Amino acid sequence: MSDAAEQAFSRALVQSLVGERGHLPIARALSDINLKLAGEQVEGLPYTIYQLVSHMSYWQDFMLAHVRGEQPARPPAVADSWPQQTNAADEASWQVVLDDFLQGIDTACELARTLELAQPLALIPTETVAGFLRNIASHNTYHLGEIVIIRRLLGSWPPPGGGYPA
């Protein structure tokens, strides 16, 4: 891939990671979620916003560790990547979960800007840096859609600054 093509792909990957173009930026969609909203359950849905953000953060951290050449422990079952509790203990704990998740997005963006995207992962040579970063973006986007639906069902949409569709 040429330098220009790699730079263009890097920019597109960063846009996907933060949620530009395809949907509302992730940080804005989550910006006003307080402890009460994070733990509110909607009848018929299997998880809360807190559980979704915790799950997203779990896999984001797992994939970022691989991108950095680390070997994170894989959970015995995918179900183990979901918290059992429906909410954080208090507002400060919820803010830590949210801040850690958003920091992970920032880290992924920095890696997309600075690493050779075609580089195979050290511990999974059939995968590349770009592949794992793209997987983070698509996984987060998938679950962000669920968060938006939950917010709509709870009458808590749009966030400050608006959302689309309104």
83/97 Cα distance (integer angstroms):
12
Contact present, 104 and 39 (Cβ < 8 Å): no
40/149 Cα distance (integer angstroms):
13
Q: Which residue(s) pair with 128 in the sheet?
A: 120
- Global pTM reads 0.95
> Is the torsion defined by CA of 129, 109, 18, 2 positive or negative?
negative
Q: Which fold has domain 3-153?
A: Four Helix Bundle (Hemerythrin (Met), subunit A) (1.20.120)
Average pLDDT by consecutive 10-residue portion of the chain (166 residues)?
87 93 88 97 97 98 97 94 97 98 98 96 96 97 96 95 70
Contact present, 137 and 130 (Cβ < 8 Å): no
Confidence (pLDDT) at 22:
72
Confidence (pLDDT) at 7:
93
